[in-house]
Amino acid sequence: MSYYSIIKGCGHYTPEQVIHNNDLAAIMPTSDEWIVDRTGIRERRYFEEGKDTVANMGARAARMAMEQAGVEAQQIDLIVFATITSEYYFPGSGVLLQRELGVPGIPAIDLKMQCSGFIYALSVADQFIRTGTYKTALVVGAEIQSNAVEFSERGRNMAVIFADGAGAVVLQATTSPEHRILSTHLHADGTHAEELYMRHPGSLQKQRLTHEMLDNGSLLPHMNGQAVFKHAVTRFAEVIDEALKANDCKPSDIDLLIPHQANLRISEYIREKLQLPEAKVFNNIQRYGNTTAASIPIALSEAVQAGKLKPGDLLCMAAFGSGFTWASALVRW
Ligand code: UT7
């Protein structure tokens, strides 16, 4: 018997605290105009210390997805958690989410694949379901990044973009080939690892953390924005094309494209390249900024809530990010 995965439920959680561009302009040299022009972002959400954690935000998103799927936590037999901002250096957030949900014993896999994390996680869960190993998987992407950036001139290119949030989906095994994940496509090229990375505190040097690192800014994430942008537009287009070709589809067959919310200009570029009308591309970066592994599942959950997907629709999700990594998933809804 052939098994496939169906997305049975979607959920998201975003912290309550809304940070507008002008709030950032009040504490560092930037402006609403610069941020909107270059990124499309108008506001984002920041976590509240003592209330929001990566795992408990993931759990809130997961509970919403489980409710939509009509699935109890006890039915989940696999957790795949994508994040680059786990609470602890180790263990990862997967086991903490598992503890939050009260489902000890099942495997909890952590994936550190940056902005492509959610599609990588979806792919891993899909493979386990297709082999018949697991029946009901929770796939989560969650990040807290607002405490990794610096609100200063040297940190501003990252600080205006990256933000916090969580999204989740419940995948279930199905034998019906009609409504399912059709395929996933994963890629990486470590040649460019240092174009978007956070060097410290890592294992390269004898002392993981020094005062010098704090002073010289090397504890901050670093991005060569223009290099990332150039690779992103090429790889997004390639990996979407790969997904369409693998399933004998063409761009005009896409009913909804959910690109990783990296930059509204990147989304627009891809939309134009694929010649899709605006209504077929879902963007919410304007309200949430770039939430890395959480961006696609948050957008998917909001798209479902807004009634943007009906049974039989062709959904394409695609991502590009640090690593570099890039990935796509095609779903017959
Ligand atoms: O999600 C993972 C993948 N990430 C991406 O895909 C991000 C890809 N890259 C980008 O989205 C864009 O490169 C950025 C939005 C990060 C930057 O936009 P840009 O148009 O590439 O700007 P830039 O880095 O070339 O900087 C242009 C100017 C510089 O000033 P000068 O040298 O022209 O005087 C920067 O110092 O803008 C300055 N700048 C800022 N000004 C105001 C950089 N950040 C800011 C800021 N506010 N926040």
Ordered by start, the domain boundaries in the chain are 4-177, 181-332
4-177 and 181-332 share one fold: yes
- Centre of ligand 1 to C-alpha 290, Å, is 14
Q: Which atom of ligand 1 is nearest to the CA of 262?
A: 1
- Centre of ligand 1 to C-alpha 223, Å, is 9
What is the full per-residue pLDDT of the chain (333 aa) written as tens digits?
899 999 999 999 999 999 999 999 999 999 999 999 999 999 999 999 999 999 999 999 999 999 999 999 999 999 999 999 999 999 999 999 999 999 999 999 999 999 999 999 999 999 999 999 999 999 999 999 999 999 999 999 999 999 999 999 999 999 999 999 999 999 999 999 999 999 999 999 999 999 999 999 889 999 999 999 999 999 999 999 999 999 999 999 999 999 999 999 999 999 999 999 999 999 999 999 999 999 999 999 999 999 999 999 999 999 999 999 999 999 999
260 flagged as catalytic: yes
Looking at residue 28, its pLDDT comes to 98
- Centre of ligand 1 to C-alpha 162, Å, is 13
Query: Catalytic one among 260, 263, 284, 316?
Result: 260
Dist CA 154 CA 27 (whole Å): 13
Classify the C-alpha dihedral 242-120-46-221 as positive or negative. Answer: negative
Q: Is 289 within 8 Å of 311 (Cβ atoms)?
A: no
CATH code: domain 181-332 is: 3.40.47.10
Looking at residue 17, its pLDDT comes to 98
290 flagged as catalytic: yes
- Residues 6+ away with beta carbon under 8 Å from 313: 255, 256, 332, 333
Looking at residue 1, its pLDDT comes to 83
Looking at residue 253, its pLDDT comes to 98
Residue 101 backbone dihedrals phi, psi, to 5 degrees = -85, -10
4-177, what's its fold? Peroxisomal Thiolase; Chain A, domain 1 (3.40.47)
Residues with CB under 6 A from ligand 1: 30, 34, 38-39, 115, 156-157, 160, 225-226, 228-229, 232, 262-263, 266, 290, 321
